[in-house]
Structure 1
């Protein structure tokens, strides 16, 4: 039946055209945003996963910054420690020179004093972002320093932060408040003279005495005079050698931490890339596919418009019947 009140063909063509236009809007939105899943309405499960992982990646970015800050602190401490090792080695050489017969020990002592000043300067200058792992001038003993190393999410959804810890008590060279806590200010017990080889220390020496500070109990400052006995010089050499060994161990620890931080930085960077790639697989639009779909929809749209136009000509055909 043909009706002038209800054009079924036009209604069907219009409904099809509306569906095509809706699909075109979806495709154009994906192309403009680059996302296949942009909102929770697109795919609630994938959107939830992507949102959570993007948040975790932001946290990992902060971890990366924290690792960079920690690396700077460790590098600064290592540079100061490396300088101290060179100076202490030079002090050791000067003390060995003082054992030579007829040498002027007072002149060597002047050199020693300058080298000690250099040690104090290097230790005090090794500061980064308000932290100094080589020099302590507060009443609070140097303690554990933590560097944020990673952000973790467990299988049950709980999150945690992992830190890389370092005990600065191993690297403090000078402690102005408590001389026994500094590698260069504390007393080092050694064997000298007749006690060498007996396993019993009979002398204690310290290398640096901070202005206004108190010397360790029973310890003697490494200092030369024209009458310093050779046995005492030998004891000083042994004490400085022990200090040098301790500094070398501390520098090795700092070097190991630097290596660990470098590895963790690389891991965090790779992990962030992997997470980005995984999120992209879930929510990113395939532009090749979307462009092909858009071209097909444009063709369908043109055909739908043409079908609607044909359906609307039925009324004109009826009018011609009455005109005849």
Structure 2
């Protein structure tokens, strides 16, 4: 049936045109944005994943910046430590030169003083963004941001590379004198430093030292007994009413003279044994001359400095050099780790970008082909609608 009120063909053609126009809008949106999933309405699951991963990638971008900052701090500390090592090498060289007979130690000290000042200057300058790892408070903790992690449960966390400031890697301690270069040590000379605690009072003394062979000979001559394992090597005075006298082992093959404070209670006691607060053995605190507490950055030598003192200073400097070398190695290892982490984070960011793209990016070849087809379909739908609308005009011929 043909009706001039209801044009079924035109209605069908119009519906087809509307459908094609809607598809064209979606396709044009994909072509213009480059996204297959541009909003939650396109694909809620993929859109949610993509949004989360994009936020994680932004966090990783901040991690990359933090790694760059951390690398700069480590490089600055390493450069300062390495330069300080070279200066300490020179100080060690000057001390060895000072052991030569007839050399002017005062002139050598003038050079050493300049080198000591240079050590302080290097440590003060080794600062980046307000952080100085060479001149710092021993015991403080610092770190470098390394990564942003999301685990299987969805929990997120920031991982860091820790670097603790200790007596083995800080050159100058701002909170005291426990850094590698400012901590004081006893330059033993011909004696040995021991801590004596009697009745709650502790003091450090540099006292004469004896080898195991010397102690054995002395005790044997006094008709006493000698225990090389570390107990008191002692003799009994008279009929036992007086104090025993002997030696205490304080290090490998190192003994110091001691006087027994309580003969009855102390027979067979270990070295440093005590009864209450009273030590039963009193170290002979006769001091040995030519001994002092020194630090690498402050010691001085002159014409009165003995060979034993120079040997002690050389040992002091060499020990400091060993700690500095170890600290520089640690900083180098940390710099290597940060470099590897920077490379990994960069690749991880690219991987996440690629993964998100696979979920939501549009295939432009496919979309351009679809757009061309829809344009053709739209033209045909328009033509069809035009034909359907003109069909009613043919009815007029029946009334002529």
Q: Which of 274, 290, 304 is the matching residue for 1:227?
A: 304
| Runs of at least 5 residues in structure 1 that lack an aligned partner in the other structure | 210-221
In 1, the alpha carbon distance for the partners of 2:366 and 2:102 equals 92
In 2, the alpha carbon distance for the partners of 1:178 and 1:186 equals 8
Cα distance, 1:113 vs structure 2 = 0.3
* TM-score, normalisation: structure 2: 0.74
In 2, the alpha carbon distance for the partners of 1:84 and 1:149 equals 28
Would the aligned equivalents of 1:203 and 1:235 in 2 still touch at CA under 8 Å? no
Q: Which of 141, 147, 165 is the matching residue for 1:150?
A: 147
What corresponds to 2:161 in structure 1? 164
Would the aligned equivalents of 1:188 and 1:242 in 2 still touch at CA under 8 Å? no
> As a proportion of its length, which structure holds more strand?
2
> As a proportion of its length, which structure holds more helix?
1
Root-mean-square deviation (Å): 1.9
Give CA deviations for 1:101-132 in whole Å, capped at 9, x if unaligned: 11110000000000000000000110111111
What corresponds to 1:312 in structure 2? 389
Please give the secondary structure, in 2, of the residue aligned with 1:148. Answer: strand
What corresponds to 1:123 in structure 2? 123
| Runs of at least 5 residues in structure 2 that lack an aligned partner in the other structure | 192-208, 212-250, 256-290
What corresponds to 1:134 in structure 2? 134
What corresponds to 2:357 in structure 1? 280
In 2, the alpha carbon distance for the partners of 1:10 and 1:54 equals 48
In 2, the alpha carbon distance for the partners of 1:84 and 1:38 equals 58
Please give the secondary structure, in 2, of the residue aligned with 1:163. Answer: strand
What corresponds to 1:62 in structure 2? 62
Please give the secondary structure, in 2, of the residue aligned with 1:35. Answer: coil
In 2, the alpha carbon distance for the partners of 1:101 and 1:112 equals 18
Cα distance, 1:171 vs structure 2 = 2.0
For residues 192-203 of structure 1, the aligned pairs below 5 Å read 192-193=189-190, 199=252, 200=254
Change (3 A) 1:306 1:284: same
Give CA deviations for 1:165-203 in whole Å, capped at 9, x if unaligned: 001223211124411x21001124566558799745987
Please give the secondary structure, in 2, of the residue aligned with 1:185. Answer: coil
Please give the secondary structure, in 2, of the residue aligned with 1:123. Answer: helix
Would the aligned equivalents of 1:37 and 1:47 in 2 still touch at CA under 8 Å? yes
In 2, the alpha carbon distance for the partners of 1:196 and 1:261 equals 51
Would the aligned equivalents of 1:67 and 1:265 in 2 still touch at CA under 8 Å? yes
In 2, the alpha carbon distance for the partners of 1:268 and 1:189 equals 49
What corresponds to 1:300 in structure 2? 377
For residues 32-43 of structure 1, the aligned pairs below 5 Å read 32-43=32-43
In 2, the alpha carbon distance for the partners of 1:254 and 1:91 equals 23
Q: Matched residue pairs, number?
A: 307
Would the aligned equivalents of 2:138 and 2:179 in 1 still touch at CA under 8 Å? no
Give CA deviations for 1:131-156 in whole Å, capped at 9, x if unaligned: 111113xxx54411011111111111
Tell me which structure has the larger Cα radius of gyration: 2
In 2, the alpha carbon distance for the partners of 1:8 and 1:190 equals 112
What corresponds to 1:219 in structure 2? none
What corresponds to 1:100 in structure 2? 100
* TM-score, normalisation: structure 1: 0.91
Change (3 A) 1:203 1:238: farther
What corresponds to 1:254 in structure 2? 331
Change (3 A) 1:234 1:24: same
Deviation beyond 4 Å, 4+ runs, structure 1:
189-204
Cα distance, 1:231 vs structure 2 = 1.2
What corresponds to 2:46 in structure 1? 46
What corresponds to 1:22 in structure 2? 22
Give CA deviations for 1:33-67 in whole Å, capped at 9, x if unaligned: 11000110111000000000000000011111111
